[in-house]
C-alpha cells in the first residue's frame, strides 16, 4: 500500500519549524497592536464572484490560479488573497457607518494553483493589513515605515522599498494608451510573451525580466508624467513623509502589480537574503480607493498590504528557537510511575515546563533525554527514594544532585529556574540569535 502524500504545493510545518513561524507571527501581532490595528478573521472560502469583481477578471490570479469549485448551487473559491474578503466583511457589517477609519490585520492561508517553487506554494500564508477610510498619504507612509521596522525586527537583510503611483483609472487608461502607442512601432524588439501582452495587458511589459523588454521600455513614457494634480499631490505627500521619517525608498516608475484594484500608491518591499531565490518580494501593497464602491459599497478609500510568511521565514535572519523543557521527571520502574506523574502535575502548577519520562527505561537513557530536551533539572524517583518519601534533584547545569523531600524539591526547582530566567531576560539580545 503506497503512502498518501500531501497535495503538491501544500506543505506540513513540523514542530521543529513551528517555532520560527510563531516568532514571526508574534512579532507581527506586536507591530500591529502598536499601530492600532485589530485582528479580523474571515473565511478561507468566498463566493467566486467576490474575487472576480475585486481582483479583476483579466488578472492572472483570477484567470488561471484560483481553486474554484461548484458546491450544490454555489460557485466558491479558496481565497487567493486576503484583501477581498476583508473588504467584503467590512461592507457586509457596515463598519463604515460605525467608525470613520478602521485598521484591520489578518493572517492565514491563501491558495493559488501555480507551479510551486522556492517561496511560492499553492497553499501559503500571508500576513496582511488594511486601513479603511483614510484617504491621505500619511497613513500610506506610516504603513511603509511600519513594515520596514517590522522587517528590521525580523533581521531581514537588504530591505529595499519601491514605491510608485498609478493614479486613478483615468490616468491609467491614458498611460496605457501612451505606452501602447510607444511600444507598437517597437513590437518586433519585444519578447514573444510581451508582444502578446501588448494587446492584453501592456502595463505588465514594464516589469518583464526579459532583457529585450527592459531595453524597449527604458525610454518609454512613465506614469508620473501623466498623473493629474490630485494624484500628484498625493504621491508628493507620501514621498515627503517618507523623507522626513528617514525611511529609505526608491521610486520605481515601472513598478506594476498584478491585481486590478490598485489606485495611486503602490509599493513593494524586497529582501536580499540568498535563501529567497527568485522570490525576493516580501511584501506587496497599495491603495485601492475605488474597490469598495465597485463591490457595491460606499466610496471608502483604503490601503493595504500582504506579506508572504514563508518568504519572511526564508528572508529573515532569525534562528529558530530550540525546543526546551525546564524539568524532566525520571521514574525508575513501574512503582514510581504514578508518583512521577503527580510530581509533574505539581511542577506544572507552579509554571514549570515539565515532561515525565513515561517510557521508563534506564536512568542513563532518561538523562540523555533530559539533555536533548534541554532540561536543566531532573527529578529522579527510584525504589529507594519512593520508600523514604524523597526524590533526587539533579541540576544538569551545576552538576549537583541532592536527596530531599518532594516539597523542598519543588521549591528549589522553582527558585533555580526563576533565577535563571531572570538573568536571561536582563541580558541584551542573546548571541546566537542570528543565522550564520
Q: Which is nearer to RNA, 220 or 380 (CB)?
A: 380
- Binding flag, residue 44, RNA (CB under 7 A): no
* Size of residue set near RNA by CB under 7 A: 67
Q: Which is nearer to RNA, 233 or 278 (CB)?
A: 278
Q: Which is nearer to RNA, 58 or 341 (CB)?
A: 58
**Of the ranges 181-189, 233-241, 274-282, 405-413, which one interacts with RNA (CB under 7 A)?**
274-282
List 33, 184, 299, 401, residue binding RNA (CB under 7 A): 401
- Binding flag, residue 278, RNA (CB under 7 A): yes
List 71, 218, 399, 427, residue binding RNA (CB under 7 A): 399
List 197, 234, 241, 264, residue binding RNA (CB under 7 A): 197
List 71, 72, 98, 115, residue binding RNA (CB under 7 A): 115
- Binding flag, residue 385, RNA (CB under 7 A): yes
Residue 126's beta-bridge partner residues?
Answer: 108, 308
Site for RNA in 305-344 (CB under 7 A): 306-308, 310-311, 332
CA distances from 152 to 96, 221, 307 (A): 33, 35, 14
C-alpha–C-alpha distance, residues 124 and 112, integer Å: 8
C-alpha–C-alpha distance, residues 20 and 18, integer Å: 5
List 18, 120, 155, 168, residue binding RNA (CB under 7 A): 120
CB of 181 to RNA, least distance (A): 20
- Binding flag, residue 218, RNA (CB under 7 A): no
CB of 397 to RNA, least distance (A): 6
- Binding flag, residue 358, RNA (CB under 7 A): no
- Binding flag, residue 160, RNA (CB under 7 A): no
Write down the residue that cell numbers 503512502 correspond to: 3
- Binding flag, residue 389, RNA (CB under 7 A): no
Residues 270 and 159: beta-carbon distance below 8 Å: yes
3-class SS letters over the chain: CCCCCCCCCCCCCCHHHHHHHHHHHHHHHHHHHHCCCEECCCCCEEEHHHHHHHHCCCCHHHHHCCEEEEECCEEEEECCCCHHHHHHHHHHCCHHHCCCCEEEEEEEEEECCCCCECCECCEEEEEEEEEECCCCHHHHHHHHHHHHHHHHHCCCCCCEEEEEECCCHHHHHHHHHHHHHHHHHHHHHCCHHHHHHHHHCHHHHHHCCCHHHHHHHCCCCCHHHHCCHHHHHHHHHHHHHHHHHCCCCEECCCCCCCCCCCEEEEEEEECCCHHHCCCCEEEEEEECCCHHHHCCCCCCCEEEEEEEHHHHHHHCCECCCCCCCCEEEEECCHHHHHHHHHHHHHHHHCCCCEEECCCCCCHHHHHHHHHHHCCCEEEEECHHHHHHCEEEEEECCCCEEEEEEHHHHHHHHHHHHHHHHHHHHCCCCCCCCECC
**Of the ranges 24-32, 116-124, 153-161, 219-227, which one interacts with RNA (CB under 7 A)?**
116-124
- Binding flag, residue 396, RNA (CB under 7 A): yes
- Binding flag, residue 172, RNA (CB under 7 A): no
Q: Which is nearer to RNA, 11 or 237 (CB)?
A: 11
- Binding flag, residue 370, RNA (CB under 7 A): yes
- Binding flag, residue 34, RNA (CB under 7 A): no
Q: Which is nearer to RNA, 78 or 95 (CB)?
A: 78
For RNA, what does the binding mask look like between residues 75 and 114, x meaning CB under 7 A? ------x------------------------------x-x
Q: What are the φ/ψ torsions at residue 16 (nearest 5 degrees)?
A: -65, -25
Q: Which is nearer to RNA, 95 or 295 (CB)?
A: 295
CB of 312 to RNA, least distance (A): 8
Q: Which is nearer to RNA, 32 or 95 (CB)?
A: 32
Interacting residue ranges for RNA, rule: CB under 7 A: 2, 5, 8-9, 59-61, 65, 81, 112, 114-121, 124, 126, 193, 197, 204, 207-210, 256-259, 268, 277-279, 281-284, 306-308, 310-311, 332, 361-365, 367-372, 380, 382-385, 392, 394, 396-397, 399, 401
Amino acid at each position: 500500500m503506497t503512502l498518501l502524500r500531501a497535495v503538491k504545493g501544500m506543505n506540513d510545518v513540523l514542530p521543529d519549524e513551528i517555532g520560527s513561524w510563531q516568532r514571526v507571527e508574534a512579532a507581527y501581532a506586536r507591530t500591529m497592536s502598536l499601530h492600532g490595528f485589530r485582528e479580523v478573521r474571515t473565511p478561507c472560502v468566498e463566493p467566486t464572484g467576490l474575487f472576480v469583481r475585486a481582483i479583476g477578471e483579466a488578472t492572472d490570479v483570477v484567470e488561471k490560479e484560483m481553486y474554484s469549485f461548484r458546491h450544490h448551487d454555489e460557485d466558491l473559491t479558496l481565497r487567493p488573497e486576503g484583501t477581498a474578503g476583508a473588504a467584503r466583511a467590512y461592507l457586509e457589517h457596515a463598519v463604515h457607518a460605525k467608525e470613520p477609519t478602521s485598521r484591520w490585520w489578518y493572517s492565514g492561508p491563501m491558495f493559488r494553483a501555480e507551479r510551486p517553487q522556492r517561496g511560492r506554494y499553492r497553499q501559503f500564508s500571508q500576513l496582511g493589513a488594511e486601513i479603511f477610510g483614510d484617504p491621505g498619504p500619511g497613513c500610506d507612509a506610516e504603513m511603509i515605515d511600519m513594515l520596514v521596522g517590522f522587517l528590521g525586527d525580523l533581521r531581514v537583510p537588504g530591505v529595499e522599498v519601491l514605491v510608485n503611483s498609478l493614479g486613478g483609472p483615468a490616468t491609467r487608461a491614458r498611460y496605457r494608451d501612451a505606452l501602447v502607442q510607444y511600444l507598437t512601432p517597437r513590437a518586433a524588439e519585444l519578447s514573444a510573451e510581451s508582444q502578446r501582452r501588448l494587446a492584453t495587458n501592456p502595463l505588465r511589459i514594464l516589469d518583464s525580466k526579459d532583457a529585450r523588454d527592459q531595453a524597449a521600455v527604458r525610454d518609454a513614457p512613465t506614469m508620473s508624467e501623466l498623473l493629474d494634480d490630485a494624484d500628484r499631490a498625493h504621491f508628493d505627500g507620501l514621498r515627503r513623509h517618507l523623507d522626513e521619517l528617514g525611511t529609505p525608498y526608491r521610486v520605481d516608475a515601472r513598478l506594476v502589480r498584478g491585481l486590478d484594484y490598485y489606485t495611486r500608491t503602490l509599493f513593494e518591499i524586497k529582501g536580499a537574503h540568498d535563501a529567497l531565490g527568485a522570490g525576493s518580494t516580501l511584501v506587496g501593497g497599495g491603495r485601492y480607493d475605488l474597490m469598495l464602491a465597485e463591490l457595491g459599497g460606499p466610496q471608502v478609500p483604503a490601503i493595504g498590504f500582504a506579506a508572504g510568511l514563508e518568504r519572511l521565514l526564508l528572508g529573515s535572519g532569525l534562528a529558530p528557537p530550540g525546543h526546551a523543557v525546564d524539568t524532566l521527571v525520571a521514574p525508575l520502574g513501574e512503582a514510581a510511575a504514578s508518583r512521577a506523574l503527580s510530581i509533574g502535575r505539581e511542577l506544572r502548577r507552579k509554571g514549570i515546563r515539565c515532561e515525565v519520562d513515561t517510557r521508563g527505561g534506564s536512568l542513563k537513557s532518561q538523562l540523555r533525554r533530559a539533555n536533548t530536551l534541554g532540561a536543566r533539572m531532573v527529578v529522579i524517583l527510584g525504589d529507594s527514594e519512593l520508600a523514604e518519601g524523597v526524590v533526587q534533584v539533579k541540576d544538569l547545569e551545576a552538576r549537583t544532585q541532592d536527596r530531599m523531600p518532594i516539597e523542598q524539591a519543588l521549591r528549589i526547582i522553582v527558585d533555580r529556574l526563576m533565577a535563571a530566567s531572570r538573568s536571561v531576560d536582563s541580558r541584551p539580545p542573546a548571541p546566537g540569535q542570528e543565522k550564520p
